[in-house]
């Protein structure tokens, strides 16, 4: 249950290693295979509190790492996660019992974004009284105010946050850090530890002439205004500048708000775009035009209003420090796009004014806060910081990972233990597959619907049943690379069952080694079979085939199966 | 009517159906195992010996299996079991392997009812008849199924037919099936002889009569069994040697 650091080297499947929050992917995919959808959500919640949010907008490093790509395509991990979370929400989530407060030290978390909420969630599970302070009127941070409704519905965010609140986390909204509360005032209120996760809220400037003209609106401000339900006037022709997910979101939002023509101006080529390829495709489907290798030189105004953007053509030069090719302007290539609204979406920077000056880093060029990358400590004891504020704008799942790390650090700090010791994760990526050519090809069997179909009452039940079947069918594509995944399924049958060899009756015939699908049994130097318990998944195929019947299972032995089978016959 | 329903034991893979989805007829006892390949042939024979009228095995439809190819292992075991059952005189139809898949249209309860119906037509298992010869045969089959030779062959099928043996030879599926057939038959007869001679010493001729095979074949088996220490010469009556079973292990 707890996020106590992993001490010894563990074998994990590639998907779990790739995930910054170490979500137990193999376990919940296995549970989906069995049709245990609710249990699957529970397994996800063991590692992070946002199954539905990540099921929608995560950039899914797990799918990139999936070993199945060696055969055909990655397992649709994100889609499966979304499905189980949605089914749980729509069928009614069970309200969890508040977790009893085991400890008395109060923890203050500044910022109710993904990092802050995850830290609050993990600390509440450990038994700490946690209070989250949020400046805006609703918690959720960028998840609520930057991601448009068509990508991440507001009620989904609200539902996941409600779960965290159900566990006993207090969220105080409308409290601005640095104005309404400060470190000192919170300390006076009895808070012992602070976790600063305010994120990066300010959109970066274009730094070209004409930026102050009417009609120039930063993407973050634009999306936030839309999310808040403010009246936003969108121009007829809109230019969005940038190539990240925010740019795509802003462009699609502008299109949906009624702009006649929306264009994205990006200074590199399509390969360098940071936005998810899938999102770019959707934007193009919405009718957004994408102009590549152009960068704005100035914004031309008329009567104080935007009239056009003057751009320069670019070509790609040498790769820069981010590994992407640097755009180099081509001289005398100026050309104009006639627009009446410009939305710069060049990335975000932190608002450091509210932070106490002693924790800010001296180096003005790097991130505003210097934290220990492992423990997330700042140079002030008792103050931790993480998420976008420490790393620069990143993704939800990375923020969740930071929140988890912070929670462990805060727990160790409050218990007076060494923060550094044993924190280095010793994990090893593993897959049992040695020869990919033996694996049979199976194409993807489930894709999430782009739009939810409108169905009548009768159709809905059937649709759900069909979707569930497809999802289970898709889950069967998982190779189960890692060892037994410790899912909740283990509770009802296998309980982490392992094979045991009776060394006195083993004759070393090697049948078990041939039978074992995971190469968990090998003959040792004495010629006697030995079970590698790290790799054994407890299927019992060896126990069913051992010619000398020297192999038994720890839990479900042959005799037990027989007793179960004969139970009704004797009646 | 309900009382006369055939008693059926169903061994089911943990990963195929979900418990909640099961609507099981009352005469079917579902036993969940980790994989349908987990079922040892001995378990099935033992279940029959204890009075089951039918045994269902339910596994995931290939190529999907949580344990890579556990379902194919089950298929192999069923193949051998059916051969053994045919030898004992028990109808091989009483054992059936079902594949299930999340996309399957037919529900489990339907399959179970259909199978019950088939078993109903076959009638009560012969093993429940008083003084049935099959009871003894099933014991011999059980011993044969726990025999080293048969189990090694069963366990190594994939290795022998798809890869190669220790001498670098590859056996075709057809050759392997013929080999398996011989071994199953031979082991069954040997264990039957072993059982028959356990209580009192018997001659080759008497055994041949009981088993319904040629005396020469019986003698060949006995020679083999003597080498393995399963049987020994008890005494010679006139000119007829009588054989008696030895305790194995």
pLDDT tens-digit map of A462-478: 888 889 889 999 999 99
Rounded Cα distance between B87 and B137, Å, is 8
Q: Among all residues of chain B, which has the CA nearest to that of A553?
A: B38
Q: Is B86 exposed, middle or buried (0-12, 13-18, 19+ CB in 10 A)?
A: middle
A80 against A534, higher pLDDT: A80
Structure confidence by residue, pLDDT tens digits, A342-366: 999 998 888 888 888 888 877 766 6
| Among B4, B121, B110, B125, CA closest to B55 | B125
Mean pLDDT of B80-93: 92
Torsion angle in degrees (nearest 10) through CA of B117, B121, B124, B127: -110
Chain B residues touching residue A33 (CB < 8 angstroms): 15, 66
Rounded Cα distance between A341 and A284, Å, is 19
Whether A552 shows a pLDDT value over 70: the answer reads yes
| ipTM exceeds 0.90, yes or no | no
Chain A residues touching residue B151 (CB < 8 angstroms): 511, 545-547
Assign A4 a pLDDT band (cuts: 50, 70, 90). very low
Assign A488 a pLDDT band (cuts: 50, 70, 90). low
A30 close contact with B: CB closer than 8 A: yes
Residue contact B40–A544, C-beta within 8 A:
yes
Chain A nearest-CA distance from B31, in A, is 6
Chain B nearest-CA distance from A248, in A, is 37
Residue contact B73–A544, C-beta within 8 A:
yes
Chain A residues touching residue B67 (CB < 8 angstroms): 517-518, 537, 539, 541
Which pLDDT value is given to residue B199? 86
Q: Among all residues of chain B, which has the CA nearest to that of A538?
A: B34
A465 close contact with B: CB closer than 8 A: no
Cβ–Cβ < 8 Å for A226, A258: no
Q: Among all residues of chain B, which has the CA nearest to that of A445?
A: B103
DSSP A488: G
Residue contact A568–B63, C-beta within 8 A:
no
Rounded Cα distance between A130 and A183, Å, is 15
Angle at A443 between CA A441 and CA A448, to 5 degrees: 155
Chain A nearest-CA distance from B97, in A, is 16
Assign B20 a pLDDT band (cuts: 50, 70, 90). low
DSSP alpha helix (H) spans, A440-547: 457-475, 511-515, 541-545
Which pLDDT value is given to residue B187? 92
Rounded Cα distance between A208 and A188, Å, is 46
Chain A nearest-CA distance from B203, in A, is 31
Chain B residues touching residue A544 (CB < 8 angstroms): 37-40, 73, 77
Rounded Cα distance between A282 and A273, Å, is 14
Q: Among all residues of chain A, which has the CA nearest to that of B10?
A: A565
Chain A nearest-CA distance from B35, in A, is 6
The average confidence (pLDDT) of chain B is: 87
Which pLDDT value is given to residue B249? 57
| Among B206, B212, B202, CA closest to B235 | B202
DSSP B93: G
| Among A541, A553, A545, A536, CA closest to A509 | A545
Which pLDDT value is given to residue A217? 93
DSSP A486: -
Chain A nearest-CA distance from B37, in A, is 6
Assign A298 a pLDDT band (cuts: 50, 70, 90). very high
Residue contact A473–B51, C-beta within 8 A:
no
Rounded Cα distance between A504 and A182, Å, is 70
Chain B residues touching residue A512 (CB < 8 angstroms): 155
Chain A residues touching residue B11 (CB < 8 angstroms): 561, 565
Which helix (DSSP H) or strand (DSSP E) does residue A62 occupy?
helix A61-65
Whether A544 shows a pLDDT value over 70: the answer reads yes
CB neighbourhood size of B26 (10 A): 8
Cβ–Cβ < 8 Å for A561, B36: no
Rounded Cα distance between A166 and A175, Å, is 21
Q: Is A285 exposed, middle or buried (0-12, 13-18, 19+ CB in 10 A)?
A: exposed
Cβ–Cβ < 8 Å for B201, B211: no
Whether A1 shows a pLDDT value over 60: the answer reads no
Q: Render the burial of A297-314: b for 16+ CB within 10 Å, e for the rest.
A: bbbbbeeeebbbbbbbbb
Beta strand B202-203 with B240-245 is: antiparallel
Count helices and strands (H / E) in chain A: 19, 21
The average confidence (pLDDT) of chain A is: 89
Nearest to B46 among A33, A562, A570 (CB): A562
Which pLDDT value is given to residue A519? 86
Rounded Cα distance between A544 and A179, Å, is 69
Interface of A with B in 503-542 (CB under 8 A): 509, 511-512, 514-515, 517-518, 537-541
Chain A nearest-CA distance from B159, in A, is 7
Which pLDDT value is given to residue A2? 37
Whether B109 shows a pLDDT value over 80: the answer reads yes
Residue contact B34–A515, C-beta within 8 A:
no
Cβ–Cβ < 8 Å for A222, A148: no
Chain B nearest-CA distance from A191, in A, is 47
Whether A383 shows a pLDDT value over 90: the answer reads yes
Nearest to A566 among B34, B47, B69 (CB): B47
- Write out the two tokens for A471: 């999802």
Residue contact A565–B37, C-beta within 8 A:
no
Nearest to B38 among A540, A562, A566 (CB): A540
Quickly tell me which residue has 């207090």 as its tokens: A170
Angle at B57 between CA B164 and CA B113, to 5 degrees: 150
Chain A nearest-CA distance from B150, in A, is 8
A233-242, A318-327, B140-149: range with lowest mean pLDDT? A318-327
How many A-B residue pairs are in contact by the CB < 8 A criterion? Answer: 138
Nearest to B18 among A35, A440, A509 (CB): A35
Chain A residues touching residue B101 (CB < 8 angstroms): 473
How much of chain A, in percent, has pLDDT values that exceed 90?
Answer: 53
A241-245, A482-486, B54-58: range with lowest mean pLDDT? A482-486
Interface of B with A in 162-191 (CB under 8 A): none
Chain A residues touching residue B51 (CB < 8 angstroms): 569-570
Whether B192 shows a pLDDT value over 80: the answer reads yes
State the best of B44, B48, B51, B64 to mutate against chain A, taking most chain A CBs within 10 Å: B64
A365 against B232, higher pLDDT: B232
Structure confidence by residue, pLDDT tens digits, A143-173: 999 999 999 999 999 999 999 999 999 999 9
Cβ–Cβ < 8 Å for B83, B102: no
| Among A258, A257, A246, A336, CA closest to A291 | A336
Nearest to B102 among A473, A489, A543 (CB): A473
Assign A532 a pLDDT band (cuts: 50, 70, 90). confident
A409 against B102, higher pLDDT: A409
Which pLDDT value is given to residue B127? 81
Structure confidence by residue, pLDDT tens digits, A27-57: 999 889 888 898 899 999 989 999 999 999 9
Residue contact A544–B37, C-beta within 8 A:
yes
Q: Write down how long chain A is.
A: 571
B9 close contact with A: CB closer than 8 A: yes
Which pLDDT value is given to residue B163? 74
Q: Among all residues of chain B, which has the CA nearest to that of A439?
A: B68
- Write out the two tokens for A520: 């968990």
Assign A447 a pLDDT band (cuts: 50, 70, 90). confident
Residue contact B156–A476, C-beta within 8 A:
no
Chain B residues touching residue A30 (CB < 8 angstroms): 15, 66
DSSP B18: -
Cβ–Cβ < 8 Å for A78, A55: yes
Nearest to B51 among A517, A541, A569 (CB): A569
B161 close contact with A: CB closer than 8 A: no
B153 close contact with A: CB closer than 8 A: no
Cβ–Cβ < 8 Å for A35, A453: no
Mean pLDDT of A92-109: 92
Chain A nearest-CA distance from B241, in A, is 32
């Amino acid at each position: 249950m707890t996020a106590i650091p992993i001490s010894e080297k563990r074998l994990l499947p590639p998907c779990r290693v790739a995930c910054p929050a170490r979500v137990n992917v193999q376990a919940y995919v296995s549970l989906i295979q069995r049709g245990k959808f609710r249990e699957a959500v529970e397994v996800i919640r063991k590692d992070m509190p946002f199954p539905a949010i990540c099921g929608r907008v995560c950039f899914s490093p797990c799918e990139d790492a999936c070993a199945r790509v060696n055969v055909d395509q990655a397992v649709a991990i994100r889609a499966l996660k979304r499905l189980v979370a949605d089914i749980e929400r729509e069928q009614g989530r069970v309200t969890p019992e508040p977790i009893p407060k085991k400890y008395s030290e109060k923890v203050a978390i500044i910022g109710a974004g993904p990092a802050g909420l995850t830290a609050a969630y993990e600390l509440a599970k450990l038994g700490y009284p946690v209070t989250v302070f949020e400046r805006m009127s609703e918690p959720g941070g960028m998840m609520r105010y930057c991601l448009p409704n068509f990508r991440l519905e507001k009620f989904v965010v609200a539902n996941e946050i409600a779960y965290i609140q159900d566990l006993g986390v207090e969220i105080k909204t409308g409290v601005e850090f640095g104005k309404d509360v400060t470190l000192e005032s919170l300390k006076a209120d009895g808070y012992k530890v602070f976790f600063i996760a305010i994120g990066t809220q300010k959109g970066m400037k274009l730094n070209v002439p004409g930026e102050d003209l009417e009609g120039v609106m930063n993407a973050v401000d634009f999306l936030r205004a839309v999310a808040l339900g403010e009246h936003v006037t969108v121009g007829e022709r809109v230019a969005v500048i940038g190539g990240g997910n925010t740019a795509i979101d802003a462009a699609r939002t502008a299109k949906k708000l009624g702009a006649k023509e929306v264009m994205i101006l990006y200074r590199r080529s399509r390969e360098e775009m940071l936005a998810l390829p899938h999102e770019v495709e959707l934007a193009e489907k919405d009718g957004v035009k994408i102009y590549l290798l152009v960068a704005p030189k100035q914004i031309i105004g008329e009567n104080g209003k935007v009239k056009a953007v003057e751009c320069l053509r670019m070509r790609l030069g040498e790769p820069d420090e981010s590994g992407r090719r640097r755009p180099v302007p081509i001289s005398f290539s100026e050309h104009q796009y006639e627009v009446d609204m410009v939305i710069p979406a060049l990335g975000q920077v932190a608002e450091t004014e509210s932070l106490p000056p002693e924790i800010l880093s001296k180096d003005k060029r790097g991130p505003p806060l210097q934290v220990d990358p492992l423990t997330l400590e700042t140079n002030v004891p008792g103050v931790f910081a993480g998420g976008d504020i420490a790393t620069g704008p990143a993704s939800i799942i990375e923020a969740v990972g930071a929140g988890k790390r912070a929670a462990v650090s805060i727990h160790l700090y409050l218990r007076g233990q060494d923060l550094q010791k044993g924190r280095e994760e010793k994990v090893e990526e593993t897959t049992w597959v040695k020869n990919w050519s033996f694996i049979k090809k199976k194409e993807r069997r489930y894709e999430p619907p782009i739009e939810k179909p409108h169905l009548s009452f009768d159709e809905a039940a059937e649709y759900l049943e069909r979707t569930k079947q497809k999802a289970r069918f898709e889950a069967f594509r998982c190779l189960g690379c890692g060892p037994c995944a410790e899912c909740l399924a283990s509770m009802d049958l296998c309980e982490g069952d392992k094979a045991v060899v009776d060394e006195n009756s083993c004759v070393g015939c090697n049948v078990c080694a041939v039978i074992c699908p995971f190469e968990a049994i090998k003959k040792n130097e004495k010629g006697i079979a030995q079970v590698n318990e790290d790799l054994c998944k407890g299927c019992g195929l060896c126990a069913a085939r051992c010619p000398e019947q020297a192999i038994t299972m720890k839990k479900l032995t042959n005799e037990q199966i027989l007793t179960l089978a004969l139970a009704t016959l004797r009646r | 009517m309900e009382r006369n329903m055939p008693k059926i034991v169903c061994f089911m893979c943990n990963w195929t159906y979900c418990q909640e989805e099961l609507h099981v007829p009352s005469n079917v006892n579902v036993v969940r195992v980790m994989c349908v390949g987990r079922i040892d042939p001995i378990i099935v024979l033992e279940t029959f010996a204890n009075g089951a009228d039918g045994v269902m095995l339910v596994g995931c439809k290939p190529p999907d299996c949580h344990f890579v190819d556990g379902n194919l292992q089950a298929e192999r075991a069923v193949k051998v079991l059916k051969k053994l059952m045919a030898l004992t005189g028990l109808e091989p139809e009483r054992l059936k392997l079902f594949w299930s898949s999340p996309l399957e249209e037919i529900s489990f309860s339907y399959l179970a009812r259909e199978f019950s119906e088939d078993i109903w037509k076959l009638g009560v298992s012969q093993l429940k008849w008083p003084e049935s010869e099959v009871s003894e045969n099933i014991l011999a089959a059980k011993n044969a199924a726990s025999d080293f030779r048969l189990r090694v062959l069963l366990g190594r099928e994939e290795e022998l037919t798809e890869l190669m043996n220790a001498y670098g030879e590859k056996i075709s599926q057809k050759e392997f099936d013929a080999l398996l057939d011989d071994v199953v038959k031979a082991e069954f007869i040997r264990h039957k002889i072993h059982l028959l001679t356990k209580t009192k010493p018997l001659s080759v001729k008497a055994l041949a009569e009981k088993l319904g095979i040629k005396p020469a074949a019986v003698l060949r088996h006995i020679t083999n069994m003597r080498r393995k220490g399963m049987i020994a010469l008890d005494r010679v009556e006139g000119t007829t040697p009588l054989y008696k079973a030895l305790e194995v292990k």
